[in-house]
Amino acid sequence: MAILAYFIFFLPLILAPNSQFAKYHANQGLIILIAGIVIMVFGMVPVIGWVVAPIASIGLFILWILGIINASKGEMKPIPFIGNITIIK
């Protein structure tokens, strides 16, 4: 269930509402989604956005993979840089 949170963040909230583990990874998935939207919007800025956005997208993809790995190991370990942000409690 926690791995699915990195693809569709709200699915674990619906299917396992009492699981702290699922909620934790749903929060991580939501943070990655929001960061992706911010990167996409920043990528529309001429020149600087065109250079920074592709690099940031690669970094976000790596964070996404790390989140999936942590979920598959059964760990509640925050992803680097943005993992300490809590939206879903």
Specify the pLDDT at position 83.
82
Burial 2-11 (b: 16+ CB within 10 A, else e): bbbbbeebee
SS3 assignment, position 70: helix
Q: What is the pLDDT of residues 6-24, one digit of tens each?
A: 998 888 889 988 989 989 9
Instruction: Determine which helix (DSSP H) or strand (DSSP E) holds 64, and give its type and residue range.
Output: helix 48-73
Is residue 36 scored above 90 in pLDDT? Answer: yes
pLDDT, average across residues 12-41: 92
Is residue 53 scored above 90 in pLDDT? Answer: yes
Q: What is the pLDDT of residues 60-86, one digit of tens each?
A: 999 999 999 999 999 999 999 888 888
Q: Measured between alpha carbons, how far is 53 from 42 in angstroms, rounded to an integer? A: 7
